[in-house]
Amino acid sequence: MCYDDTRAFAVIAIRNQGLRVWDLRSGSSHLIQARPDETAYALTCYLMDDMLAAVTVNQDGVLRTWNLQHPREGENSAADPGVQMVAWAASASESLLVTGHVDGSLTAWSGNTHEGRYRIPGATGAITHLAATMAQQGSVILGGSADGSGWLWCDDLTAEPRRLGPVAKPVTAVTVADTSAGLLAFVADGQGTVRSWDVASGAEGVPMGPHDNGVQALTLLDVDRGPRLATADGNAGMRVWDLSGEVVAMPGSEWVNVIAGGSIDGQRWLVSGDADGVVRLWDPDHYICIAELPDPHDSPITHLSFAGLPGGPVAVTGDRLGRVQFWDLARRQPVVTIWLPADCSGLALSAAGALAIVCEGEVFVLRRSAQ
């Protein structure tokens, strides 16, 4: 049961039916239908602004959040069994959650209500990697596909995407960012080479690589000397490239799995999640490790997302044991731990503090508490 000064609701989980929602002031009720695998074995509900929501756990330990004022399409869990990857595109006034699927399509969801807006067709292979940003011309999405291509959707997301490549299979990492040199897209291929494109002109840049152990992650840094691309390849650590294809730095850690970074209020940040389970902070101008954060993961970190929130910069990491960890980077401390029923196969943190997690082919969205 949940209530505030003007409203009171009770929610009952009914096996093989769904959730029955009672308005205790009016006495009316309605049923939110559920699939058999969604039968709730644990339930809590809450009021948030104008939304009544519930969190349920089924017998397999899968967590779902529900908008109880609407039928199935209002469910916060984007329950598409083919979801592979997830990304946010957000500006000060708009937020878009994008999911990539095994059939090569994408789905765009409202970042505020999590209701599906439309399906985006395009790629001819499963979407295995995904990146997104909000540029002057609108949402820009870059997908890496099992067909050995990067696929670029700009502004009109319902239009056919632009194909970048083909590149050597498989695509291993992608990123897209609006920089001082323009809007740039990067695709890492199966031979350990990173290829780049100017989104506006379509011109291809100078290749970066090869990396002997392949490329596991990319992040773009806009420093005083111009854009720099940081790449992670696991066994050989991190490299930093300029757009001419030259290596400008090779920081010391040998086991960098994933990397992320950005600029917040004029201060640049670079963070890595490593094969030894440790989260490390780096000086983004001199590329030296400045901190190893406490309470490391017990297995290699496989996913990392970074965002500047009102309280300061935050990173989120995930591993194959199902641990998802929030980190306060300014205080250099872990702050919140979430345990999933299976390994984390994708995560993305929005600038508004909403976390999207991919687990067992489904997407779960957690919102930041007002406190």
- What is the DSSP track for 22-43? EETTT--EEEEE--GGG--SEE
Question: What is the per-residue pLDDT for 82?
Answer: 63
| 157 and 259 fall within a common domain | yes
Planar angle of CA 123, 213, 323, nearest 5 degrees: 75
Domain boundary among 74, 106, 135: 74
Percent of the chain at pLDDT > 70 equals 80
| 134 and 27 fall within a common domain | no
**What does the block give as tokens for 72?**
């199935």
> Which DSSP symbol is given to 9?
E
C-beta neighbour count of 369 within 10 angstroms? 8
Alpha-carbon Rg for the chain in angstroms: 21
pTM score of the predicted model: 0.76
Question: What is the per-residue pLDDT for 42?
Answer: 64
Which strands make up the sheet holding 18-23, listed edge to edge? Answer: 2-3, 8-14, 18-23, 29-33
Average pLDDT over residues 127-133: 92
Domain boundary among 13, 39, 74: 74
Residue 371 resides in a domain: no
Average pLDDT over residues 208-224: 90
| 61 and 98 fall within a common domain | no
Average pLDDT over residues 62-88: 58
What does residue 235 show for φ and ψ, rounded to 5 degrees? -65, -35
| 176 and 247 fall within a common domain | yes
Average pLDDT over residues 30-41: 65
| 190 and 249 fall within a common domain | yes
Residue 26 has pLDDT above 90, yes or no: no
Mean of all residue pLDDT scores within the chain: 83
> Does residue 109 sit in helix, strand or coil?
strand
Question: What is the per-residue pLDDT for 79?
Answer: 40
| 187 and 47 fall within a common domain | no
Query: CA-CA distance, 94 to 88, in Å (whole number)?
Result: 11
Split at pLDDT 50, 70, 90, the class of 80 is very low
> Which DSSP symbol is given to 79?
-
Average pLDDT over residues 284-304: 94
Average pLDDT over residues 5-30: 73
Residue 77 has pLDDT above 50, yes or no: no
Question: What is the per-residue pLDDT for 176?
Answer: 95
What does residue 182 show for φ and ψ, rounded to 5 degrees? 110, -175
Residue 204 resides in a domain: yes
Question: What is the per-residue pLDDT for 124?
Answer: 82
Query: CA-CA distance, 231 to 95, in Å (whole number)?
Result: 27
Domain that holds residue 52: 2-74
| 225 and 358 fall within a common domain | yes
> Which DSSP symbol is given to 208?
B
Residue 75 has pLDDT above 60, yes or no: no
| 195 and 328 fall within a common domain | yes
Average pLDDT over residues 102-108: 85
| 193 and 47 fall within a common domain | no
Residue 91 has pLDDT above 90, yes or no: no
Question: What is the per-residue pLDDT for 144?
Answer: 93
Q: Give the CATH number, domain containing residue 133.
A: 2.130.10.10
Residue 178 resides in a domain: yes
| 247 and 331 fall within a common domain | yes
Split at pLDDT 50, 70, 90, the class of 74 is very low
Which amino acid belongs to residue 7? R
Residue 362 has pLDDT above 90, yes or no: no
151-208: pLDDT as tens digits = 999 877 778 889 998 899 999 999 999 998 999 999 999 899 999 999 999 999 999 9
326-350: pLDDT as tens digits = 999 999 999 999 998 888 999 999 8
Q: Is residue 77 a contact partner of residue 363, using CB atoms and an 8 Å limit?
A: yes
Residue 60 resides in a domain: yes
Residue 179 resides in a domain: yes
Specify the number of domains making up the chain: 2
227-283: pLDDT as tens digits = 999 999 867 689 999 999 999 998 866 689 999 998 888 889 999 999 999 999 999
> Which DSSP symbol is given to 148?
T
Which strands make up the sheet holding 127-135, listed edge to edge? Answer: 127-135, 138-145, 149-154, 162-164
| 176 and 27 fall within a common domain | no
Domain boundary among 74, 102, 122: 74
